[in-house]
Amino acid sequence: MPLHPARVKFLTQAQTAQFFSVITDRRESALFATIYHYGLRVTEATLLQLEDVDLIHRRITVHRLKGGYGGERPLLTNTAQVIQAYLPARLPTGSALFTGRQGNLHRQRIQQLFKRYARSAGLDPTYTVHSLRHSIGTHLLDAGFGIEFVRDHLGHVNIQNTLIYAQLTNRRREGIYQQIEESEEIVKV
């Protein structure tokens, strides 16, 4: 079932930058950067294993839920840097990429960490980790990437789930209207 615009909460670019600016822990910086950059659901972040990240060949294997398309993706430079900074401090208490003192990080712990950093950043308390997924979808469209790329990037099977982001972003709409204004193909009356 496609998302409804009123139920989608995303952070603006400034809010996202503010969120990341308050994170000082290397693990959490790598965790939330990976969630944001790859549009991961919380549970998808817990599925990442250490061997899913190949820093040498700059690849990451994403495991999608809900029948979504996952697989191997290029590892973004910024994501690679924060993961590389985290790995020496990674606790060998589990097989997941992101571990804690008692093993692999769980959904609930990731959500608690997000809430703590969101509060420190002065963000609306109704934001959730899933807001980072909605944010990257919106930010990619704002940056001019096409809806098909965003669909693939988020692993959506149904394009209707991706179209919600096109409805949310005014910057992209304004940019298109600017192109219409400047186009010599559109007749000026």
Active-site positions read 41, 66, 130, 133, 156, 165
**Integer angstrom CA distances of residue 115 from 92, 103, 120, 131, 142:** 25, 21, 9, 11, 26
The token pair at 147 is: 């809806």
Angular region, 162: left φ>0, alpha ψ -120 to 50, beta rest: alpha
Return d(Cα 53, Cα 20) in angstroms, integer.
Answer: 21
The token pair at 153 is: 């990037």
